[in-house]
Amino acid sequence: MTTDLLLEVKDVSKSFHVPKGPNGNDRLRALDGIDLRLGKGETLGLVGESGCGKSTLARTLMLLERPDTGTVRFSGVDPFALRKNDLQRHRRRVQMVFQDPYASLNPRLTAAEIIAEPWRTHKDLFTTSRDRAARVRELLHLVGLRPSDANRYPQEFSGGQRQRIGIARALALGPDVVICDEPVSALDLSVQAQVLNLLNDLQRQLGVSYLFISHDLSVVRHVADRVAVMYLGRIVETGTTEEVFGHPRHPYTKALLSAAPTLRRADRDKTEKILLKGELPSPLDPPTGCRFRTRCWQATDLCATPPPASADPHGLGHTAECHFPLDGRVTAAR
């Protein structure tokens, strides 16, 4: 896997106007100083609770939302500064696979029409209907479907097959990045494994990069090279999958991992169970300083002040936004 930088997000914030809350605030800050990096051919897992801002970040990267502050760069280019033809060409580079394979496909279109739909906008990619039909057959084969499936409608496919059509549609423009927004959460477990293996195979063949959004830690552990943990609009921890799962440094990450189900008794026995106190704060009125401090078992008055810049004490690219980061290596050595 290459580590060439493809996508870089720096200090991105995004707020929305909403009806005033109990505190009189009418601005919901969905993203608050987001920093992310994605390399070519890499899978970055983005995890966190519902409402933490994962989908808002995905919409921002798809250029459906413009950040209030901060910068987004693809291969060094700011896509929000592009206009007309340059902007349209850029949109090919980032595509999305949606969560619900039942709602994301138009029931009035055949599989072939769904896959070919992006070419109605990007007309310069294929000049003849014969070329388009041939490419549809190639994409169907690529995602494990038959050429004869081209003329069938979504309701004639299973959930897993529908998601394969969604993946083929996402690949139709030859993107560099595919944003997978909970792509297997609506599928049965056995089908989930098939779709995840397909995504891995496609990455090896095509070199595409994934931003894989999920609340399911076991899924993220299976597919991601690196992990970013999100809480109330902030990235609180980033690192390789092995580092984050093996040595969580932020208390929120440790709490998430302790709540993740596992079938192995040895894993259950050695995992410290952490029960968080209190309710998830409202993004209309987030806590001062560390967003997690109202639920954190090791919080002090210092945590009401802004967290320090993420540090990487072991030089492993593993950072945590916390005044008192955990360190499993130190604990294990004692």
Beta bridge partners of 43: 210
Residue pointed to by tokens 């720096």? 10
Is 331 within a domain?
no
Q: What is the pLDDT of residue 263?
A: 46
Instruction: Give the three-class secondary structure for 79.
Output: helix
**What residue numbers bound the domain in which 149 lies?**
5-320
Q: What is the pLDDT of residue 133?
A: 94
Is 332 within a domain?
no
Q: Name the region of 278 (left: φ>0; alpha: ψ -120 to 50; beta: rest).
A: left
Q: Which strands sit side by side in the sheet containing 5-17, from one edge to the other?
A: 27-39, 5-17, 69-74
Is 116 within a domain?
yes
Q: What is the pLDDT of residue 270?
A: 54
Q: What is the pLDDT of residue 125?
A: 86
Q: What is the pLDDT of residue 311?
A: 66
Distance separating alpha carbons of residues 120 and 126, to the nearest angstrom: 10
Is 290 within a domain?
yes
Q: What is the pLDDT of residue 3?
A: 62
Q: What is the pLDDT of residue 31?
A: 96
Domains of the chain: total: 1
Is 188 within a domain?
yes
Task: With beta carbons less than 8 A apart as the criterion, state whether 303 and 289 touch.
Answer: yes
Cα end-to-end span (Å), the chain: 36
Is 329 within a domain?
no
Closest CA to 160 of 250, 234, 97, 96: 97
Q: What is the pLDDT of residue 333?
A: 33
Closest CA to 231 of 34, 74, 7: 34
Distance separating alpha carbons of residues 170 and 94, to the nearest angstrom: 9
Strand pairing category for 177-181 and 209-214: parallel
Between CA 22 and CA 24, with CA 23 as vertex, the angle to 5 degrees is 95
Distance separating alpha carbons of residues 170 and 237, to the nearest angstrom: 29
Q: What are phi and psi of 246, to 5 degrees?
A: -85, -30
From first to last of its 334 residues, the chain has per-residue pLDDT tens of: 446 899 999 999 999 998 876 677 788 999 999 999 999 999 999 999 888 999 999 999 999 999 999 999 999 999 999 999 999 999 999 999 999 888 999 999 999 999 999 998 898 888 788 999 999 999 999 999 999 999 999 999 999 999 999 999 999 999 999 999 999 998 998 899 999 999 999 999 999 999 999 988 999 999 999 999 999 999 999 999 999 999 999 999 999 998 876 645 545 445 577 878 777 888 888 899 999 999 999 999 999 998 877 766 666 789 999 999 997 554 433 2
**117 HSE (CA, 13 A, CB side):** 16
Is 172 within a domain?
yes
Q: What is the CATH number of the domain that holds 212?
A: 3.40.50.300
Is 143 within a domain?
yes
Helix (H) / strand (E) element for 214: namely strand 209-214
CA max distance for the chain:
69
Distance separating alpha carbons of residues 163 and 99, to the nearest angstrom: 9
Joined together, the tokens standing for residue 107 give: 């029931």
